[in-house]
Structure 1
Amino acid sequence: MSNPSVIIFGATGSIGSIAARVANEQGAKVFLALRDVNKPIPGLSPDEERERGFERLQADLTDAESIKAAVVKSGAKRAFIYLMFGVTDGMRPVIEALKSAGIEFVVFLSSSSVTVESTNKGDDLTTVPPSDFIAFSHAQVEINLQNTFGKGGYVAVRPSYFATNTLQWRSMVRTGEVKLVAPNVSFDYIASSDISRVCAGFLVRGPKSPDGSPSPAFVTLCGPQLLSQKDALAAIGKALGKELTLKGVDQEEEGIEVFKANGIPENIARDLVRKLISRSKGNDRLYADDLYAEAVANVEKYGGQPATGFAQWASENKEQFL
């Protein structure tokens, strides 16, 4: 396998930073596209960055010309991108800029909600309803990738519920009392490292699966165990050696305020609360048996390692709650 040149947009994020390191470990020349080129990369010291041949480039996903300039300067043929929330054009200018600058294959960090909304409709992305804000926003980007890069020119990596979402509880964990909307609702809590390995694998291989077959248009990923929010909180408490008090929230407006207090924009908070309350009433399509089993298996299939359990993740990341 030749050593590809890849460009990572969002290299300071929880997924992009790990994907950059893993792609580098697997032999890729990695360019780090940053809005602020002086910002530190999590898990990568300046010495390591220099010794391992990373290069920084200034680029802003809201500025198509800066994207073109960064890609042309890097000479990269593969790119990692993520959704810019708030855009109304499905990131079309970004995608067209990548294409015109010479990118041949894109890895897009999407969402499992797209799978949920389209899986029973022939995977038709145009059927994803605007009422599902998160799914619709990601689906619009996938549609533009499909139209611009075509089959084999991109892969949408669709993780489910990030384990790092529990870091929203951090300030409450510190006080000892945690307010949770619909605490009995379960999630899979997939680790960022598992998502990143899958993304890095596609960046290094390009439009190929590990067995050499063509890469799929999308890959859905889930963590290996479904846990209620209540049980996930207990796992965090155990990792910290701290007793935590749970307060359940079942009213929409109060739930929105809980999310807003933890830095979530109101439109996203409202969408999240409505989904949680709906799922608490039994309207749960997220973890259908066949879909969930395949999504868990995909972590190892495309990332090379079994999915990380939440208890392990909590133990490894307990300092972030302190």
Structure 2
Amino acid sequence: MAARKVIVFGPTGAVGSAAARTAASLGAEVTLAMRDTAKVIPGLDDEKEKNGAFERTQADLTNPDTVRDAVSKSGAKYAFIYLAFGMPDNMKSTIEALKSAGIELVVFLSSFTVRGDLRAIEPSDIIPYVHAQVELNLEEIFGADGFVAVRPGSFASNNLPYKEAIEKGEVKLWVPDAKLDNIVPEDIGRVCGTVLAKGSQDDQRVVYLYGPTLSTQSDTIKTLAEALGKDPKMTKADEQEAYKMFTEERGMPPHLANYMIRQARKAAPEGSEYHVFGTSIEEEHMSNVQKYTGQRATSLEEWAQQAFATS
């Protein structure tokens, strides 16, 4: 049987890189679609790339013509894409380019905040809204069976900006008791790469992914601090301080910072032990990383030891 040909957009990111490497390890021929083909791909050195089934090509998800050209050149039938912010048509022209160039199945990196009736999500709920619009465009162009939406929870890597504050000895947190699942980006990529190379399990078209355990923001910081050998003071930030942290320290646009503040402020659903920042999640979905890849999800402790040792 001929090797499955796949194309991965954004392979220089942690998720895209892991998706590409996983698909190749499962026998797929992988085209690495990049804005800058000279950039380093995490986990893929020159020797591994030369000896593996990889090919680089230039493409930009915000430029449909380059997407069409890259897919046509690769001969790929399966594609991994992520949200390209700022496209006025919510990536519809890019998705049309994928379809016209011969892609049969798209694996889209979405968000766990996308729930319920996608058309009912309000634009003010910016994270679920923009991801939902792309999912709706995928359904319109590829049909319900032509894409898989991978919806991960809160990324462990979102905690990296806290490193400096931990080292300085004081960390301010907005809603310290809010729970996080801290899924590791490489685990998300492993699932995406598996779907690219082998298809979805049980014909699932939506795959929720979470880390193996839930912990509060304050407990998450304690775990990160232990990896750094620190014991910082933790204080609760007020809304103004939270807004400043999001906009000035993390570079978020105001509408996104306001969404994050509102979302974190939401109370946990009554009677729900399983929730992330006030959003109920399904306990069984916390095992989806292992279900799809055959390997358990990386713990926050393991991620912190590696991330802070190399950062």
TM-score using structure 2 length:
0.93
SS of the aligned residue for 1:113 comes to coil
What is the rounded CA distance, in whole Å, between the counterparts of 2:269 and 2:163 in structure 1? Answer: 27
Q: Give yes or no for contact 1:113–1:286 (8 Å, CA) kept in 2.
A: no
Counterpart position of 1:258:
245
How many residues are matched? 308
Code of the aligned partner of 1:191: V
Counterpart position of 2:123:
130
Moved more, 239-248 or 14-23: 239-248
Shift of 1:203: 0.2
Runs of 4+, deviation exceeding 3 Å:
279-291
SS of the aligned residue for 2:166 comes to helix
Q: Deviations over 1:74-103 (max 9, x none)?
A: 001000000012223221011000000000
Counterpart position of 1:180:
173
Q: Give yes or no for contact 1:79–1:106 (8 Å, CA) kept in 2.
A: yes
Counterpart position of 1:293:
283
Label 1:204 to 1:281 Cα distance change in 2 as closer, same or farther (>3 A).
closer
Unaligned runs of 5+ in 2: none
Code of the aligned partner of 2:133: Q
What is the rounded CA distance, in whole Å, between the counterparts of 1:36 and 1:193 in structure 2? Answer: 21
Q: Deviations over 1:167-204 (max 9, x none)?
A: 12133233232222111211111111221111011100
What is the rounded CA distance, in whole Å, between the counterparts of 2:74 and 2:271 in structure 1? Answer: 47
Label 1:68 to 1:202 Cα distance change in 2 as closer, same or farther (>3 A).
same
Q: Give yes or no for contact 1:179–1:258 (8 Å, CA) kept in 2.
A: no
Q: Give yes or no for contact 2:268–2:275 (8 Å, CA) kept in 1.
A: no
What is the rounded CA distance, in whole Å, between the counterparts of 2:81 and 2:110 in structure 1? Answer: 9
Unaligned runs of 5+ in 1: 119-123
1:68 aligns with 2:68: yes
Counterpart position of 1:221:
209
Q: Paired residue for 2:133, among 136, 140, 156?
A: 140
What is the rounded CA distance, in whole Å, between the counterparts of 1:224 and 1:75 in structure 2? Answer: 37
Counterpart position of 1:307:
297
Shift of 1:290: 8.2
Label 1:201 to 1:139 Cα distance change in 2 as closer, same or farther (>3 A).
same
Q: Deviations over 1:237-294 (max 9, x none)?
A: 111112222222132x321110121233332222111211224798989459984312
What is the rounded CA distance, in whole Å, between the counterparts of 1:221 and 1:158 in structure 2? Answer: 6
Q: Give yes or no for contact 1:33–1:70 (8 Å, CA) kept in 2.
A: yes
Counterpart position of 1:121:
none
Alignment of 1:104-119 (within 5 A): 104-115=104-115, 118=116
Q: Give yes or no for contact 2:179–2:275 (8 Å, CA) kept in 1.
A: no
Counterpart position of 2:16:
16
Q: Deviations over 1:52-92 (max 9, x none)?
A: 13111000111110000000000010000000122232210
What is the rounded CA distance, in whole Å, between the counterparts of 1:271 and 1:311 in structure 2? Answer: 28
TM-score using structure 1 length:
0.90
SS of the aligned residue for 2:230 comes to coil
Q: Give yes or no for contact 1:68–1:101 (8 Å, CA) kept in 2.
A: yes
Q: Give yes or no for contact 2:91–2:134 (8 Å, CA) kept in 1.
A: yes
Q: Paired residue for 1:171, among 159, 164, 168?
A: 164
Q: Give yes or no for contact 1:190–1:223 (8 Å, CA) kept in 2.
A: yes
Label 1:7 to 1:267 Cα distance change in 2 as closer, same or farther (>3 A).
same
Counterpart position of 1:242:
230
Moved more, 287-296 or 36-45: 287-296
What is the rounded CA distance, in whole Å, between the counterparts of 2:281 and 2:174 in structure 1? Answer: 25
Q: Deviations over 1:22-50 (max 9, x none)?
A: 11111111111000111111111122111
Code of the aligned partner of 2:204: P
Code of the aligned partner of 2:216: S
1:158 aligns with 2:151: yes
Q: Give yes or no for contact 2:28–2:53 (8 Å, CA) kept in 1.
A: no
Label 1:276 to 1:39 Cα distance change in 2 as closer, same or farther (>3 A).
same
Q: Give yes or no for contact 2:167–2:230 (8 Å, CA) kept in 1.
A: no
